[in-house]
Structure 1
């Protein structure tokens, strides 16, 4: 099917992430766009241009009939609704039932595991189900995958630092607290030859990144998405560092985990509120930005090279996540490969094509090589 004939549907278009996903797709030619929400009139007020590009339909993700009807009108469904930990596989399952390709801006490992239980059906229906298609996880694996494909024949070292200035919605913060409860990601671990290993020696407890990030506190963590990316590209040693503008922000996360402030629904919501307030306080002091900084070493054409690469935007991570998810859907729409299945973003689409379309929207890499 030609990509111009595809209809891309978006759920959660009134949220921080969904708004940018909708804006991105509505600003670009070549697709029919459908927006779904409980209040279609509110969607029309947010996006008056929808009248010439598609339509708005009433959808409640907890109403199976309305959800199925919306999915049936799409070729690709982009889910930006949250909290993901409450929605679970509800929207993704509706997409499978209606034979619709699927992109989830979050989803992460828990949704990935749920979808794998329906792998035979997904493959029989020739569907592509892509989860973790935001910034982190998502771009945090897509960028190093692109670097591995483009600049190296083999890579023996990769270090990725994620930094940013922005806020959390309550839904996003709720998902973070739920991930702390589920113990998603291995703290103080890295990937060595495809295996998770505890960091026993020295590591970056703080690091000075290019501006505007500057000196930040860092915490090494290994998520399944990053581990699978490193394993796929046979990277010998791969480290991922989440960063924090100051120690108090990191301590807030540590406190939630140490005191198990997620046992009840009330505790989860209270902890989520604390996180939004913590980040809102930092947001007042600086302009928004999102940064991925990479250090890599390996061989290209028989020569050993070291590379420093930087992706920097003046958008917060919510806005950038919406942009990434929208472009993942665009790349998926134009990809006619018979490659069905459930994938993390860096596995499920052509990373070089995604980085190309992001660069066209002024989201690109700068890089420097240092020959050994």
Structure 2
């Protein structure tokens, strides 16, 4: 009799910042039958050799349906960690479903979900999208909080100072005003959720802003994602505002120069953004934070802060936890977003079981008390 950890797990993008973290987390969870996929055979083979055991390597190029088909053949669950998500869309998912595998994607919000919702094969497998930090953990945490305290309004600031991968740069540029490709955009810049509906252009971007929970000043970009809209609707929030925070001066200069400029060359913009992020990070300690200002039904206010030394590593951990839930039969067949099907309590506890990977802190911010209610998890 075989158990969940005996299933063959294929990881596309295994040598990337996210994929490598996912592979190590899967191994820590007891999965030994791992198939590593990516474009370059040599790094894949070297990674598999370091892992040892039953780890193997096979080419998996998101631009080659043939290679994806060959990679997915025989896999029980396929985890996609490659990007950018707007370009890959459902390419890896289609190959996985054709091979009869279950599927997890660390991104996959918006366009990929829309395409898969029209795919008959999606009904026959367990599919979990948005299983990263943002989207993913970003919605799972408010669900965890709401179950404990109740929740009526929230304002969130998310960002930090860290390297910018090619995949992250491509997706980040789509959060700017002027990024209007209907096949790619997964949210609405400057919008907010108020009293049960999306209000367009309710907020403004600003530079040189001091943001509570972040050092120094930053460029703050309001961006209401599809995930945020779904969360507000499900939790019946009266208000939700979401802001992306960019502290790096050079990164801010690139973002502000491309904001409101539809038609800019995406490859050039992404390359400039990556160089700027590297320069901003030089000689400084990287960090990523999610800071939630939360108001309960009775008006009580709390601040929930997530501190991450590396958001890419945590994204890999979230993806691995979603794979574990799928492999254990905890996710029903069909198409899902991670925050909708992963158990908030057990998943949050698992993700923050190692303080070196991330910390979670909830503080009472009512005027009459500043005590830390939950401390660190």
Indicate whether the TM-score tops 0.5.
yes
Q: What is the SS of the residue equivalent to 1:121? A: helix
Compared CA separation, residues 70 and 209, structure 1 to 2 (3 A): same
Please tell me whether the aligned partners of residues 3 and 333 of structure 1 are also in contact (alpha carbons under 8 angstroms): yes
Aligned to 2:60: 59
Distance of aligned partners of 1:259 and 1:330 in 2 relative to their CA distance in 1, 3 Å threshold: same
The residue number in structure 2 matching 1:233 is: 235
Deviation, structure 1 residue 274: 0.8
Offset at 1:130?
Answer: 1.9
1:137 CA drift (Å): 2.1
The reply to whether residue 329 of structure 1 matches residue 323 of structure 2 is yes
- Alignment match, 1:192: 194
Report the 3-state secondary structure (helix = DSSP H, G, I; strand = E; otherwise coil) of the residue aligned with 2:53.
helix
Pair 1:171–1:199, CA change in 2 (3 A): closer
Cα distance in 2 for partners of 1:201, 1:55 equals: 49
Aligned partner of 1:354 in structure 2 is 347
Counterpart of 2:37 in structure 1 is 36
Give the corresponding residue for 1:342: 335
Query: What corresponds to 1:163 in structure 2?
Result: 159
Contact 2:248–2:280 (Cα < 8 Å) also in 1: no
Please say which of residues 88-97 and 348-357 is displaced more in the overlay: 348-357
Paired with 1:242 and 1:202, the residues of 2 have a C-alpha distance of 12
Residues 235-274 of structure 1: pairs in structure 2 closer than 5 A: 235-245=237-247, 249-262=251-264, 267-274=265-272
Give the distance between the partners of 2:216 and 2:327, measured in 1 at CA: 38
Q: Aligned partners of 2:155 and 2:60: how far apart in 1?
A: 42
Out of 305, 309, 313, the residue aligned to residue 310 of structure 1 is: 305
2:314 to 312, 316, 320: 320
Is the contact between residue 50 and residue 56 of structure 1 (CA under 8 Å) also seen in structure 2? no
Structure-1 separation of matches of 2:203 and 2:267:
37
Asked if the contact 1:355–1:364 (Cα under 8 Å) also holds between the matched residues in 2, the reply is: no
Deviates more, 1:73-82 or 1:344-353: 344-353
The alpha carbon displacement at 1:248 in A equals 5.4
Post-superposition offset of 1:91: 0.8
8 Å Cα contact 2:98-2:121 kept in structure 1? no
Q: Which has the higher contact order (CA 8 A, sep 6+)?
A: 1
Change (3 A) 1:26 1:158: same
Where 2:159 maps in the other structure, the secondary structure is strand
Partners in 2 of 1:276 and 1:309 — Cα distance? 29
Counterparts of 1:369 and 1:79, CA distance in 2: 38
Structure with greater proportional helix content: 1
* 1:48 partner SS: helix
Q: Secondary structure at the match of 2:292?
A: strand
How large is the Cα RMSD of the aligned pairs?
A: 2.6
Q: CA deviation at 1:241?
A: 1.0
How far is the alpha carbon of 1:49 from its aligned partner? 4.1
Contact map agreement 1:261 1:271 (CA 8 A) in 2 = no
- Equivalent residue of 2:193, what SS? strand
Matches within 5 A, 1:1-372: 2-30=3-31, 32-118=33-119, 120-123=120-123, 125=124, 127-152=125-150, 155-177=151-173, 180-182=179-181, 183-198=185-200, 200=202, 206-210=209-213, 213-245=215-247, 249-262=251-264, 267-299=265-297, 304-315=299-310, 317-337=311-331, 339-362=332-355, 363-370=358-365
Q: Post-superposition shift, 1:332?
A: 2.8
CA contact (8 A) 1:191 1:239 kept: yes
2: CA distance, partners of 1:214 / 1:246 = 10
Name whichever of 34-43 and 267-276 sits farther off.
34-43
Q: 1:293, CA displacement in angstroms?
A: 0.8
**Displacement after TM superposition at 1:109 (Å):** 1.2
How far 1:72 sits from its partner (Å)?
2.9
Deviates more, 1:342-351 or 1:244-253: 244-253
Write out per-residue CA displacement over residues 33-83 of structure 1, whole angstroms, 9 at most, x where no aligned residue: 221234444223234343214322233344434422322322211111233
Structure 2 residues not aligned, in runs of 5+:
368-377
SS for the counterpart of 1:258 is coil
